[in-house]
Amino acid sequence: MAAAAVAAGPVFWRRLLGLLPGRPGLAALLGRLSDRLGRNRDRRRRRPPWLLLAPLLSPAVPYVTLPPCCLCPEGVHRFQWIRNLVPEFGVSSSHVRVLSSPAEFFELMKGQIKVAKRRVVMASLYLGTGPLEQELVDCLESTLEKSLQAKFPSDLRVSILLDFTRGSRGRKNSRTMLLPLLQRFPEQVRVSLFHTPNLRGLLRLLIPERFNETIGLQHIKVYLFDNSVVLSGANLSDSYFTNRQDRYVFLQDCPEIADFFTELVDAVGDVSLQLRGDNTVQVVEGMVHPYKGDRAAYCKAAHKRVMDVINSARTRQQTLHTQTFHSNSLLTQEDAAAAGDRRPAPDTWIYPLIQMKPFEIQIDEIVTETLLTEAERGAKVYLTTGYFNLTQAYMDLVLGTRAEYQILLASPEVNGFFGAKGVAGAIPAAYVHIERQFYSEVCSLGQQERVQLQEYWRRGWTFHAKGQFTGTWRPRSPL
């Protein structure tokens, strides 16, 4: 989940925004760009020497409450401290599959929906309205219908979490796409629409429909089928099923992870508006309304609801860890298999990082800054983004540490705004301008060998990945 604040910029940019119909993230981008333009004169000079102290001025690694474990497989890895913030899940790498294409992602989801017996949980920014999205909804309907016709009653439940503003845009939208499921299977289907508490009052009345999502939105992307989970950055829209490259990690038969994300989506759903069969919405009984009720009370309740899930899962996983590796009667893998647990020993460790700034939950921010701060000489850090717009804190850490950085960006041609009409068509150039400013700072510090920027390009495609990538690497040197 991400909350984007609209940054105040010069009058020029405010007038520019007034001419636009609105695009996702446009206000934040232009506001950020105006800030950078205002500081451009100062940045032409070399960075002050204190920049080298950035790692010392940043937050320290959170205190590890337990000593490194010499019994369990992960006893020597350096990321154990993260388990003090979020639950730690150990899985076998044989259960982890990285998908490579949008088509593979789409076909996998349809296949998983068709064989789901107990639960389907889908969290996304929005659901599109084209034929491919309808095909996905039809798969859900068919599976739900089979569950009713089964010889034995099925407890299949479908839970969908979307953003309210994006999912309500236009006459035909995410809500209207899902209404038939709610009307036909009211006891089995839940559709929750998260509404940011920051969009309220006069602001909510004045900001146009295609522009209001810049204030804040629901940005979790997780797709869950029984005990298997797809973690991705892709939305449920046709381009993400065809020619918009993203990353997709498929975790097969990982019940603890599936339980956690089910509980997390349920928690965010409980503090969201509930879609009803007549296309109206209502709050969960006893919950503060996100934009009509008291903001502080709503955020406090939402914080507690989400953190209860995180802390409960963290405690549960720590208990499981102790029973597995520190019990007085440790079972061998053969003993575990004989007892019915045939899962291979874990060699991969997963830490779900949560960021919900309106609720004062900033775990992802803390961990990311800590990892960048602790990056040492000889370490390699790979950063991937479809929109290069690092915060100042992250920029200072990249420039102030000694690790090697490979930063993969979208070339202007694969930016989602490329070729758009009007001023919006200049957005790719704006990102290049930010990239150019950053690279100029890299060069002024003589760090171009340590910090390398590269661009993703693929004819006819766009780029949205933050990790896994395919396509052509292209050096971005002549800035």
Using DSSP's 3-state secondary structure scheme, residue 474 falls into: strand
Copy the structure tokens of residue 265.
């989506």
Q: Is position 221 annotated as part of the catalytic site?
A: yes
Q: Which of 35, 138, 226, 259 is catalytic?
A: 226
The string of DSSP codes covering 295-359 is: HHHHHHHHHHHHHHHHHHHHHHHHHHHHHHHS-TTPPPHHHHHHTT--PPPP-EEE----EEGGG
Are 228 and 127 contacting, i.e. CB atoms less than 8 angstroms apart?
A: no
Q: Clarify whether 219 is annotated catalytic.
A: yes
DSSP code of 62?
Answer: P
DSSP state of 153: -
Query: Per the residue annotation, which of 163, 195, 221, 238 is the catalytic one?
Result: 221
Place of tokens 């919950």: 287
DSSP symbols for 283-311: EPTTPPPTTTS-HHHHHHHHHHHHHHHHH
The catalytically annotated residue of 219, 246, 321, 464 is: 219
Instruction: Please give the helix or strand (H or E) that residue 275 lies within, else none.
Output: strand 273-275
Active site residue 226: yes
**Chain-centroid distance, C-alpha 361:** 14
As separate numbers, helices (DSSP H) first and strands (DSSP E) second, the chain gives 15, 19
Sequence-distant (6+) residues with CB within 8 A of 141 are: 180, 181, 184
Catalytic residues: 219, 221, 226
